[in-house]
Structure 1
Amino acid sequence: MTEGAGSAPIATTRSAVVFEAIRAEILGGLLKPGARLPFAKLVEKYDCSMGTLREALQRLAEIGLVESFAQQGFRVVRLSDEDLADLTEARIDIEVAALRHAVREGDIAWEGAAVASLHVLERTPRHDETSPDHLTEEWAVAHAAFHHALLSGCRNRRLLNVAAQFRDAAELYRRWSVPPSRDTARDPDEEHRAILKAAVDRDEELACRLLREHIEKAASHLE
């Protein structure tokens, strides 16, 4: 049901629903980078008000998945090598800072959650049998869950929120990159295991160095 005038709490809740729906379509590859987001069609599609849609699109712009253009319209963010380089640098700065906090502040529950998430990741098929060059959707979800669990010992919510935003942006690049040949020079599973071991061993410097290298290698593979 479309919300009525004067129902700010309902509008805010509806905006969150629309935000998540559009975010899922962008990350799922249903909306292409650079694609325009026409207000009239989206209002009809999501059965919402113009104000609710604008609020959702502004939130998507804040996390870097959408950008505004002339005449106050919106489109899915465009991709470029230059932006990928900036994103990689920003991810390293933020995620390494969050991992430092996690190593220092994380408790036994954090360790257990991180170990469990790695267990799931390692047992989730990485490549699609029908399209071997592509990663499976299940693996992408498990991979994101592992990185979230790894950093979740950090008590700084703002750091975690920014880290999650940057991972969304990196996922967009992965979705739209030309599938590379399998890189036999690196083993992502072993990289994940090494990062986690250093983190739960409370070896802050080693864990941060390994995470930095992991992000750099992933970006190089996308390029």
Structure 2
Amino acid sequence: MARARSSSPTRSDVILGQIRVDILNGRLAPGSRLGFADLGERYSVSAGVLREVLTRLVEQGLAESEAQFGFRVVDVSIERLVQLTDARVAIETLVTRQAIAAGDIAWEADVVAKHHALARIGDSLFSTGITEEWLTAHEAFHASILSGCKNAYLIEMAVRLRSISEVYRCWSRPEHNRTHRDVAGEHREIMSAAIGRDADRAVELTEAHIRHTTELLISGRTAELSSP
């Protein structure tokens, strides 16, 4: 009889979470080298665990592996962000539409529950930095909507592109510091459209949510580069 797999996080899960948060908050800068010695000392972890963690980061799109050079945090640029945004809009709106068409009552309940968990945390991250708690809840909310889609390949692609896009949050000052953007309200409207089975509205809101973030990030980055 096979042993039941423990639901407790492994050492690699814990380190993966710590490194992801550090990447998304810019403490590990885009394009910076992820050396085993430096990371081992920083996180008090063995090379074996790091090898597994870095491989998983590559799979998630947060790191890159190059022959002779090892691992690096994924690099960023305005051109890459524009291309990433177009890809996300194309894939995520497709998956969202299919999810709304195929999702059942259990799917609706999960979307509502994940939104509630995210709303309870709030958007304090825009002034204090991304916390692992908010990051987990934010990913879970958007993933819950996508999960209604029956095509696992499309879901995997949408989740990976969303993961890569999170790197850009550290690229310039948080957008909330420059605008009165109601991020919580955007999430609430997306949730309502999804469980209300209004696919056209949900797709429209999802695209606006993605593109608005991109526009603000590019605006902030451009302002920083042009400042003396």
Question: TM-score with structure 1 length normalisation?
Answer: 0.76
Equivalent runs, 1:36-185 vs 2, <5 Å: 36-39=33-36, 46-49=45-48, 57-69=54-66, 71-127=68-124, 133-137=127-131, 138-180=133-175, 181-184=177-180
SS at 1:154 equivalent: coil
SS of alignment partner, residue 215 of structure 2: helix
Deviation at residue 42 of structure 1 after TM alignment:
5.4
CA distance in 2, matches of 1:191, 1:68: 35
- Secondary structure of 1:123's aligned partner: helix
Instruction: State whether residues 32 and 72 of structure 2, in contact with CA within 8 Å, keep that contact through their aligned partners in structure 1.
Output: yes
Which structure exhibits the higher relative contact order, with contacts defined as CA atoms closer than 8 Å and separated by 6 or more residues? 2
2:72 is aligned with what amino acid? R
Residue 207 of structure 1: CA displacement? Answer: 1.2
Match of 1:201 in 2: 196
* Pairwise CA distance, 1:178: 2.1
> What's the TM-score once normalised by structure 2's chain length?
0.75
* 1:69 shift after superposition: 3.8
Q: State the alpha-carbon separation in 1 of the partners of residues 130 and 36 from structure 2.
A: 32
Query: Structure 1, residues 38-65: CA drift from partner, whole Å, max 9, x if none?
Result: 245557854344xx86565444334321
Moved more, 119-128 or 155-164: 119-128
User: In structure 2, how many angstroms separate the alpha carbons of the residues matched to 1:54 and 1:122?
Assistant: 35
Aligned residues: 202
- After superposition, the Cα gap between the structure-2 partners of 1:55 and 1:188, relative to the gap in structure 1 and judged at 3 Å, is closer
Q: Provide the alpha-carbon RMSD of the alignment.
A: 2.7
| C-alpha distance in structure 2 between counterparts of 1:213 and 1:203, whole Å | 16
> What SS does structure 2 have at the residue aligned with 1:202?
coil
When residues 174 and 113 of structure 1 are mapped into structure 2, their CA distance, relative to the original with a 3 A threshold, is: same
Can you give the 5+ residue segments of structure 2 that lack an aligned partner in the other structure? Answer: 1-9, 219-228
In the alignment, the residues of structure 2 paired with residue 198 and residue 77 of structure 1 have an alpha-carbon distance, to the nearest angstrom, of 33
Change (3 A) 1:164 1:93: same
Deviation of residue 24 (structure 1)? 3.9
